[in-house]
Amino acid sequence: MDLITTRTLSKAFIEDILQKAQGYEKAARAKKNLTVLKGKTLATLFFEPSTRTQMSFQAAMLRLGGNFVGFSDPKSTSASKGETLADTIRVVEGYAHAIVMRHAVEGAPARAAELTDLPVINAGDGSNQHPSQALLDLFTLQQEKGKIDGLTVLLAGDLKYGRTVHSLMYALSHYDVDIQLFSPPSLKMPESIVNDVKERVSVKEVTDFGDADVVYATRVQRERFADAEEYQRSLYTIDEAMLSKIKSDAIILHPLPRVKEIAPEVDLDSRAKYFQQSFYGVPTRMAILETLIGASND
Ligand code: NCD
């Protein structure tokens, strides 16, 4: 099995991952290495920059008793000599039991999955999808709010180019939630995604944070803009003044990295949970790796 998009995930799969992640939380927190994937190797192929996603997949593999090979700078690989993705995948197939891949080209991980029988996990493809992030975001809601059903979840920022929110829309649509969208007119959530989910879940555009139980801020994706001025115009900041307009029991999330979207002073507020959220990447990715790679035979 591959993990390429949340669009086609079943609720049963999502719930299974959340339950397994819960089971792994303690080991992840204690940085204790288990033996579930002993003898297994993960390939982490990062053709685009990454800190959290790459390192938390690697940490998750180590926590499960496995190991990893990979690269984080395609300039240091034969891709820079002109090697095709197909050849890279064929080669990596001989070195690993599963592949985690991030690529600037939308659909590249899906293409890789067609080329190999190994499980392929999409760790972000252009502006398209980032499914493991959406699963860890749901796990964060479960841990920090105690539930997912009944929540009003506000997605703020770059809803056009942000792949994390695209994946999160589909993942949330399995639950009884109200989704609120807050963005500049030029960075709205693609209509195709809203249309896909709106039969299952309520989606509306809002102009303030007042009703939200969860404020999910995103980075304006500078690398996807052709026009530098449009980028500058799209920037926004959640600062101390804005905090007073957010519910006292709400949580503030961000997939990180943040640039200007959340002022550093917000970190001191008890509602700020984005660093917790990045930690939850480890148990969630342990659950994903265990599910896709399976238990070791030896
Ligand atoms: C995100 C990404 O790469 O899409 N980062 C992450 O994986 N946590 C968000 C971003 O880059 O803005």
pLDDT computed for residue 295 by the predictor:
54
Does the beta carbon of 258 sit less than 6 angstroms from any atom of ligand 1? no
Cα separation of 113 and 73, whole Å? Answer: 21
| Token digits of residue 184 | 């500049």
Using CA atoms, how far residue 38 sits from 92, 97, 133, 285, in Å, is 19, 12, 25, 16
102 included as an active-site residue: yes
Fold matches, 11-130+279-296 and 131-277 = yes
User: Which residue(s) pair with 139 in the sheet?
Assistant: none
CB neighbours of residue 162 within 10 Å: 25
Distance 256 CA to ligand 1 centre (A): 6
Q: Give residue 91's region: left, alpha or beta (phi > 0; psi -120 to 50).
A: alpha
Give me the catalytic one of 8, 75, 81, 207: 81
- Burial class (CB within 10 angstroms; exposed 0-12, middle 13-18, buried 19+) of 115: middle
CATH number of the domain located at residue range(s) 131-277 in this protein: 3.40.50.1370
* CA–CA gap between residue 81 and residue 160 (Å, rounded): 33
User: What confidence score (pLDDT) does residue 80 get?
Assistant: 80
- Domain ranges (residues) in the chain: 11-130+279-296, 131-277
Question: In terms of Cα–Cα distance, which of 122, 142, 120 is closest to 132?
Answer: 122
Contacts of 242 (CB under 8 A, 6+ apart): 209
pLDDT at 125: 98
Q: Which atom of ligand 1 is nearest to the CA of 278?
A: 8
Residue type, 49: P
pLDDT digits (tens, 9 = 90+) for 262-285: 999 999 999 999 999 999 999 999
Note the pLDDT tens digit of each residue in 220-258.
Answer: 999 989 889 988 888 889 999 999 999 999 999 999 999
Protein residue with least CA distance to atom 1, ligand 1: 255
284 is catalytic: no
- Is 116 tagged catalytic? no
pLDDT the model gives residue 296: 45
* Cβ neighbours, 10 Å, residue 169: 26
User: Where do we find the tokens 């891709």?
Assistant: 79
The pLDDT tens digits for 128-152 are 999 999 999 999 999 999 999 999 9
Atom of ligand 1 nearest to the CA of 256: 8
Architecture of domain 11-130+279-296: 3-Layer(aba) Sandwich (3.40)
67: part of which helix (H) or strand (E)? strand 67-71
Query: For the chain, what percent of residues have pLDDT higher than 90?
Result: 89
Cα of 35 vs centre of ligand 1, distance in Å, is 29
